[in-house]
């Protein structure tokens, strides 16, 4: 049992390393992905919040001052980079649609773990490289940030990432039955764009929608970790995120397993 | 006479490509609906953001909720037109460079930039255009005191907006010829485009100047929206018209420059 776990761990570490190496191969591409994009997003959101406060003629919105919103915009952009999966989901779909999955399903590993480890490896290196920016910016501009809460916030975001991967697994399983499904990825990510709190802090939504949306596991991607760091949410509310993600993982993994099994049984590898 | 003949040739070529795209899109009927659904989520994201913000403030920049709805309606219409005619072509350019498919286009006896820009139309997105148009009409109607004669400005300004989006996107896409793998530069375009998805009035004056001139994403929606919502101002109408030939010239120069770096990838 111990030995098989060690093999499992070693194999998955190798997948994660593979993702790190292959992403760092094209450095300009990676630099844009990890640093430039979230910086631009932050810039756009910061300008929006300046305009909102100017129009509101008030010092606080929903009980928080402008600095809290600027801090949210800063951290939100970087957590959103971690919590979103485009590239690997497209690859998973492509793998199934093109039939190149044949070479993966004959190996002694699962398709799910192969891509999960790669996704986690890629996000791990992205976190290390990109997190310097919000930390330094928050320090220079003295934005409300509780630095001691950052590690736990990152843990929740990575836990949520497993849920994101499970959704990618479900979407890619549909590729066994339908040929063109990349727009599913776009639709799903746009929906998550709203539900994670990347666009605006979820506590600005009027009740009762606010409560429902925050209770969903998707708020663990951006709103809860960023809210925790910027002191918008309490420790108890933040910990609730782990519970909702766990429930989401159980339900979606079950659905994923069923769809995958169904998809594999209808799949014919051509061996091209 | 020769120009007319060339224009006629390119027009009939485009019609043939559009027809071929339509037939190919009909092959994947489910895709028609998923593409519409995708954009519905995008529209919902945009509308929700501003509706939630206006729940806490009366004005953003110098526009109220009703004016912002018109701005979003115009954004949806212009974006849908861009997506139908141009987007897919430029989106796939990076892939064409990597796989060597660009060779096939370069070898054809027509302008390569024309082929790269307009070879494929995404006719599935005509539904999105209808949705966006519907939202625009609804938002104009809810304004109350809107002068519908101002809609004529759109005949001039929407094509200008399309050329501005096209030119900027083209420069990002054509960079794939130089860097080979530049997917994230394409994502970077999305971030730049996002700046133009917000009204120019919400930005600081120096930044507003930049997005109206140097990186003219502010021209795409903000200026047509101003033409609809405010009495016409000469600068806001004339500037997009002046910008169009300048940008088209620059894209052509950039394309020729980028091609110098191209080494065929096909075997």
Quick one: how many helices (H) and strands (E) in chain B?
A: 13, 0
Contacts of A204 in chain B (CB under 8 A): 52-53, 55-56
Is A98 domain-assigned? Answer: yes
Distances (CA, A) of A9 to A14, A128, B220: 9, 21, 51
Whose CA is closest to A14, among A121, A101, A108, A106? A121
Residue A26 in contact with residue B178, Cβ under 8 Å? no
Q: What pLDDT is stored for residue B245 in this prediction?
A: 95
Contacts of B56 in chain A (CB under 8 A): 52, 56, 61-62, 204
Q: How confident is the model at residue B68 (pLDDT cuts 50, 70, 90)?
A: very high
Q: What pLDDT is stored for residue A270 in this prediction?
A: 62
Residue A228 in contact with residue A238, Cβ under 8 Å? yes
Is B111 domain-assigned? Answer: yes
**Tally of CA atoms within 13 A in the half-sphere of A6 that contains its CB:** 3
Is B265 domain-assigned? Answer: no
The interface predicted TM-score (ipTM) is 0.79
B168 versus B24: the higher-pLDDT residue is B168
Helix (H, G, I), strand (E, B) or coil at A142: coil
Confirm or reject contact between B26 and chain A (CB < 8 A): no
**A183/B35 CB distance under 8 A:** yes
Q: What pLDDT is stored for residue B241 in this prediction?
A: 94
Helix (H) / strand (E) containing B261: none
Evaluate if residue A230 carries a pLDDT over 90: yes
What's the mean pLDDT in B102-107?
Answer: 84
What's the mean pLDDT in B171-179?
Answer: 85
Confirm or reject contact between A47 and chain B (CB < 8 A): yes
Residue A50 in contact with residue B60, Cβ under 8 Å? no
**pTM, 2 dp:** 0.84
What's the mean pLDDT in B162-188?
Answer: 83
What's the mean pLDDT in B163-169?
Answer: 94
Is A1 domain-assigned? Answer: no
Q: What pLDDT is stored for residue A155 in this prediction?
A: 95
CB atoms within 10 A of CB A38: 24
Contacts of B60 in chain A (CB under 8 A): 48, 51-52, 55
Q: What pLDDT is stored for residue B220 in this prediction?
A: 94
Is B106 domain-assigned? Answer: yes
- Give me the phi and psi of A10, to 5 degrees please: -60, -45
Greatest mean pLDDT range, A205-214, A244-253, B204-213: A244-253
DSSP string, A148-161: GGHHHHHHHHHHHH
- The rounded distance, in Å, linking the Cα atoms of B144 and B70 is 12
Structural domains counted in chain A? 1
Distances (CA, A) of A198 to A49, A235, B263: 14, 20, 40
What's the mean pLDDT in A46-65?
Answer: 81
Is A271 domain-assigned? Answer: no
Is B226 domain-assigned? Answer: yes
Q: Tell me the residue range of the domain where B176 lies.
A: 2-259
B210-257 pLDDT, tens digit per residue, is 999 999 999 999 999 999 888 878 888 899 999 999 999 999 999 999
Distances (CA, A) of A155 to A151, A201, A224, A259: 6, 20, 12, 28
Q: Which structure tokens are listed for B119?
A: 């070879």
A88 versus B135: the higher-pLDDT residue is B135
Identify the weakest region by mean pLDDT among A79-83, A247-251, B173-177: B173-177
Identify the weakest region by mean pLDDT among A91-105, A123-137, B106-120, B135-149: A91-105
Q: How confident is the model at residue A181 (pLDDT cuts 50, 70, 90)?
A: confident
Is A272 domain-assigned? Answer: no
Dihedral sign, Cα of residue A99, residue A100, residue A106, residue A109: negative
CA distance B44 to chain A (A): 9
Contacts of A40 in chain B (CB under 8 A): 188, 191-192, 194
Confirm or reject contact between A146 and chain B (CB < 8 A): no
Contacts of B182 in chain A (CB under 8 A): 28-29
Q: What pLDDT is stored for residue A1 in this prediction?
A: 58
The residue behind tokens 């406060």 is: A53
**B191/A50 CB distance under 8 A:** no
Evaluate if residue A272 carries a pLDDT over 70: no
CA distance B2 to chain A (A): 43
Evaluate if residue B187 carries a pLDDT over 80: no
Evaluate if residue A224 carries a pLDDT over 90: yes
Dihedral sign, Cα of residue B105, residue B107, residue B109, residue B112: positive
- The rounded distance, in Å, linking the Cα atoms of B34 and B246 is 37
As to burial, measured by CB atoms within 10 angstroms (0-12 exposed, 13-18 middle, 19+ buried), residue A108 is exposed
Q: How confident is the model at residue B158 (pLDDT cuts 50, 70, 90)?
A: very high
A2-50 pLDDT, tens digit per residue, is 677 787 788 888 888 887 888 777 777 778 777 887 888 888 888 888 8
Is B115 domain-assigned? Answer: yes
Q: Which structure tokens are listed for A101?
A: 């999955």
**B28/A186 CB distance under 8 A:** no
Mean pLDDT (chain B, rounded):
87
What's the mean pLDDT in B86-112?
Answer: 85
Q: Which structure tokens are listed for A239?
A: 């910990």
Confirm or reject contact between B95 and chain A (CB < 8 A): no
What's the mean pLDDT in A107-117?
Answer: 84
What's the mean pLDDT in B163-191?
Answer: 82
Q: Tell me the residue range of the domain where A254 lies.
A: 8-266
Angle between helices A132-140 and A66-83 (to 10 degrees): 170
Alpha helices in A57-110, H assignment, sequence order: 66-83, 87-98, 102-105
The residue behind tokens 């018209």 is: B241
- DSSP β-bridge partners for residue B63: B60
Q: What pLDDT is stored for residue A241 in this prediction?
A: 94
Whose CA is closest to A134, among A157, A105, A103? A157
User: From B194, which residue of chain A is nearest by alpha-carbon distance?
Assistant: A44
Is A246 domain-assigned? Answer: yes
Is B266 domain-assigned? Answer: no
- Give me the phi and psi of A53, to 5 degrees please: -70, -35
Structural domains counted in chain B? 1
Alpha helices in B180-233, H assignment, sequence order: 183-196, 205-212, 218-229
Is A2 domain-assigned? Answer: no
């Amino acid at each position: 049992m111990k030995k098989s776990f060690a093999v499992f761990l070693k194999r998955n570490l190798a997948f994660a390393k593979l993702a790190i190496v292959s992403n760092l191969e094209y450095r300009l591409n990676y630099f844009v992905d990890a640093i430039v994009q979230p910086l631009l997003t932050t810039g756009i959101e910061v300008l929006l919040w300046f305009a909102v406060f100017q129009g509101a003629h008030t010092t606080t919105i929903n009980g928080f001052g402008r600095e809290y919103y600027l801090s949210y915009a800063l951290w939100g952009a970087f957590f959103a980079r971690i919590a979103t999966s485009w590239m690997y989901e497209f690859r998973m779909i492509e793998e199934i649609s093109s039939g190149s999955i044949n070479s993966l399903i004959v190996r002694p590993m699962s398709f799910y773990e192969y891509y999960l480890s790669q996704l986690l490896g890629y996000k791990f290196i992205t976190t290390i490289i990109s997190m310097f920016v919000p930390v330094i910016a928050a320090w220079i501009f003295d934005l409300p940030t509780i630095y001691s809460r950052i590690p736990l916030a990152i843990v929740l975001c990575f836990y949520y990432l497993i849920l994101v991967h499970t959704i990618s697994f479900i979407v890619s399983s549909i590729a066994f039955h339908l040929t063109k499904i990349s727009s599913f990825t776009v639709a799903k990510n746009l929906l998550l764009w709203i539900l994670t709190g990347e666009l605006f802090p979820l506590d600005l939504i009027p009740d009762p929608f606010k409560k429902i949306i925050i209770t969903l596991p998707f708020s663990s991607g951006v709103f809860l970790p960023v809210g925790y760091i910027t002191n918008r949410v309490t420790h108890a509310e933040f910990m609730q995120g782990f519970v909702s993600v766990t429930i989401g993982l159980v339900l979606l993994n079950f659905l994923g397993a069923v769809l995958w099994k169904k998809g594999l049984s209808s799949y014919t590898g051509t061996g091209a | 006479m020769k120009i007319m003949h060339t224009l006629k040739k390119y027009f009939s070529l485009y019609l043939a490509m559009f027809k071929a795209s339509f037939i190919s899109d009909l092959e994947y009927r489910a895709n028609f609906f998923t593409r519409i659904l995708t954009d519905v989520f995008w529209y919902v994201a945009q509308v929700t953001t501003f509706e939630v913000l206006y729940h806490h403030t009366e004005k953003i920049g110098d526009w109220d909720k009703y004016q912002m709805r018109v701005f979003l309606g115009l954004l949806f219409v212009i974006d849908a037109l861009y997506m139908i005619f141009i987007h897919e072509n430029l989106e796939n350019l990076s892939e064409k460079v990597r796989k060597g498919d660009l060779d096939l286009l370069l070898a054809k006896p027509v302008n390569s930039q024309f082929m790269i820009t307009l070879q494929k139309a995404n006719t599935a997105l005509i539904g999105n255009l209808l949705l966006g148009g519907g939202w625009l009409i609804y938002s104009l109607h809810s304004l109350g005191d809107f002068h519908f004669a101002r809609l004529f400005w759109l005949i001039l300004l929407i094509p200008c907006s399309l050329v501005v989006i096209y030119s900027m996107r083209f420069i990002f896409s054509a960079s794939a010829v130089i860097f080979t793998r530049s997917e994230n530069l394409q994502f970077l375009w999305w971030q730049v485009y996002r700046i133009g998805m917000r009204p120019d009035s919400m930005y600081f004056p120096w930044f507003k100047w930049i997005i109206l001139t140097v990186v003219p994403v502010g021209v795409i929606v903000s200026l047509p929206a101003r033409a609809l919502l405010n009495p016409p101002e000469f600068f806001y109408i004339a500037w997009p018209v002046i910008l169009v030939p300048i940008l088209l010239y620059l894209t052509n120069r950039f394309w020729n420059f980028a091609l110098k770096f191209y080494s065929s990838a096909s075997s």
